[in-house]
């Protein structure tokens, strides 16, 4: 490994202004708080951009193609674009810092939204699909921004920092869909198809998120964290010696954190995707479907602040087990709920969102704990690729399972699949000397 040589270069080449952060824990705390504020502002814009576009993507494709056959393509392209962008944003962040990587991702998503508007104006389906793929970069940046707030956090603050970013996403995610009608009317007033209206909001929101990060995320938290960690490691070089066992422990943390997030994402997306279909088949209207999904999305994000504190206080593994148990309860309840029982479906989907929330925050904290600043962003980007792909797989497989069997089978399968989190966590505990980095 060349980690130590990279750290030596970082120590030798860091600019003079960084020394003040190295020497002052108080300045580090101030930068940590300032970084969180900037991330929160960008996440509010990012959440609005993401939700506004996703709300009408399928409807726009349906309208332009005159068929339901390709209505699912936008969601697939957004997911595919998000997966590819996660990898690129992670590597850009590692090479040039969080500011560059996240700002580039959000701005790319904004240009994708502009492409969707042009596609609607010219009725160009190929431009629409390509633009939706690019639009996915905004989604990837919105998810990866949760890591930026944790770069300068201590091990007892990391989950809380992650949760603050997720909570702030909620404000934009709730506002975006509620502005669909307003943006549709605005689009019509300037000669743009009404269904492209939300993408006007999406373009503005993603571009603003990128500009906020580019202008104000200074000094870059990841760059500061790299140098501080390099200096700290040099000071402790006589005490701590990196060996194969340390590497195995770190790799174990990465694998466990990734496994938790991948499993929870797959289970959540699979059950969530087919719940509206199940409800419509049993006579529930769009308002009822909207209520259930709205409560589900609220449960995904709103508990984050409390979840972050619990993850920091009770431990990552305890909350990962709680995630598995909560998802199991959600699956069993969704499977057993009578088709006409709105209350039970609401509770089941709320538990589904809450279980996902537990898994995402505990898994993210494990990834941050197990990675070094010199490789952290690149590793996080790679993990987010697999999270995006697991969500896409869950959504695709859910339709097949329901078509071949039933919603009950899907819900039970998802619930019991989440129990795999428990042996994963037990395996992680085999290492008694696990260290939080």
Pick the most confident of 168-172, 313-317, 355-359: 355-359
Give the pLDDT band (50/70/90) at residue 54: low
SS3 readout for the chain: CCHHHHHHHHHHHCCCHHHHHHHCHHHHHHHHHHHHHHHHHHHHHHHHHHHHHHHHHHHHHHHHHCCCCCCCHHHHHHHHHHHHHHHHHHHHHHHHCHHHHHHHHHHHHHHHHHHHHHHHHHCCHHHHHHHHHHHHHHHHHHHHHHHHCCCCCCCCCHHHHHHHHHHHHHHHHHHHHHCHHHHHHHHHHCCCCHHHHHHHHHHHHHHHHHHHHHHHCCCCHHHHHHHHHHHHHHHCCCCCCCCHHHHHHHHHHHHHHHHHHHHHHHHHHHHHHHHHHHHHHCCCCHHHHHHHHHHHHHHHHCCHHHHHHHHHHHCHHHHHHHHHHHHHHHHHHHHHCCCCCHHHHHHHHHHHHHHHHHHHHHHHHHHHHHCCCCCHHHHHHHHHHHHHHHHHHHHHHHHHHHHHCCHHHHHHHHHHHHHHHHHHHHHHCCCCCCCCC
Give the pLDDT band (50/70/90) at residue 352: very high
Q: What is the pLDDT of residues 203-241, one digit of tens each?
A: 999 999 999 999 999 899 888 888 887 776 655 444 444
The CATH number for 377's domain is 1.20.1250.20
One domain for residues 165 and 228: yes
Which of 241, 259, 285 represents a domain boundary (last residue)? Answer: 241
Do residues 219 and 108 lie in contact, with contact meaning Cβ atoms separated by under 8 Å? no
Residue 327: domain span: 243-437
One domain for residues 4 and 116: yes
Mean pLDDT of 368-386: 87
Instruction: Judge whether residue 133 has pLDDT over 80.
Output: yes
How many domains are there within the chain? 2
One domain for residues 36 and 102: yes
Instruction: Judge whether residue 325 has pLDDT over 90.
Output: yes
One domain for residues 285 and 326: yes
Which of 221, 241, 261 represents a domain boundary (last residue)? Answer: 241
One domain for residues 276 and 224: no
One domain for residues 77 and 154: yes
One domain for residues 304 and 380: yes
Q: What is the pLDDT of residues 155-213, one digit of tens each?
A: 788 888 888 888 888 777 767 766 777 888 898 899 998 888 889 988 999 999 999 99
One domain for residues 129 and 66: yes
Instruction: Judge whether residue 314 has pLDDT over 60.
Output: yes
One domain for residues 220 and 269: no
The answer to which of 107-111, 116-120, 286-290, 390-394 has the lowest mean pLDDT is 286-290
Which of 173, 208, 241 represents a domain boundary (last residue)? Answer: 241
One domain for residues 71 and 52: yes
One domain for residues 104 and 164: yes
Q: Average pLDDT, whole number, for the chain?
A: 83
One domain for residues 283 and 164: no
């Amino acid at each position: 490994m060349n980690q130590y040589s990279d750290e030596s270069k970082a120590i030798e080449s860091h600019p003079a202004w960084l020394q003040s952060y190295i020497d002052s824990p108080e300045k580090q705390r101030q930068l940590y708080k300032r970084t969180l504020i900037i991330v929160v502002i960008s996440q509010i814009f990012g959440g609005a951009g993401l939700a506004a576009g996703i709300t009408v993507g399928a409807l726009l494709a349906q309208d332009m193609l005159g068929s339901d056959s390709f209505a699912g393509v936008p969601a697939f392209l957004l997911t595919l674009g998000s997966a590819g962008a996660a990898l690129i944003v992670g590597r850009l962040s590692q090479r040039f810092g969080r500011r560059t990587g996240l700002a580039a991702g959000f701005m790319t998503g904004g240009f994708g939204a502009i492409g969707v508007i042009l596609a609607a104006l010219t009725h160009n389906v190929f431009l629409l699909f390509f633009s939706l793929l690019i639009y996915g970069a905004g989604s990837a940046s919105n998810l990866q921004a949760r890591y930026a707030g944790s770069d300068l956090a201590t091990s007892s603050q990391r989950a809380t920092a992650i949760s603050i970013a997720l909570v702030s996403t909620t404000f934009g995610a709730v506002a975006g869909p509620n502005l669909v009608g307003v943006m549709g009317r605005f689009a019509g007033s300037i000669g743009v198809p009404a269904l492209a209206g939300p993408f006007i909001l999406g373009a503005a929101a993603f571009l603003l998120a990128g500009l906020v990060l580019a202008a104000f995320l200074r000094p870059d938290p990841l760059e500061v964290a790299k140098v501080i960690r390099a200096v700290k490691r040099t000071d402790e070089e006589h005490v701590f010696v990196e060996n194969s066992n340390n590497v195995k422990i770190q790799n174990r943390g990465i694998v466990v954190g990734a496994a938790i997030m991948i499993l929870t994402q797959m289970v959540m997306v699979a059950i969530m995707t087919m719940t509206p279909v199940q409800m419509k088949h049993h006579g529930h209207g769009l308002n009822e479907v909207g209520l259930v999904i709205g409560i589900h999305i609220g449960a995904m994000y709103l508990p984050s602040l409390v979840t972050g504190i619990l993850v920091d206080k009770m431990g990552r593994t305890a909350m990962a087990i709680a995630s598995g148990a909560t998802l199991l309860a959600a699956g069993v309840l969704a499977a057993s709920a009578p088709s006409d029982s709105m209350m039970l479906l609401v509770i089941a989907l709320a538990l589904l969102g809450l279980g996902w929330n537990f898994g995402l925050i505990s898994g993210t904290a494990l990834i941050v704990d197990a990675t070094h600043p010199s490789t952290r962003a690149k590793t996080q980007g790679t993990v987010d690729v697999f999270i995006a792909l697991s969500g896409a797989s869950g959504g695709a497989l859910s339709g097949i399972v329901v078509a071949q069997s039933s919603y009950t089978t899907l819900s039970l399968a998802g619930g019991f699949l989440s129990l795999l989190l428990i042996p994963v966590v037990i395996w992680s505990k085999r290492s008694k000397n696990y260290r939080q980095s």
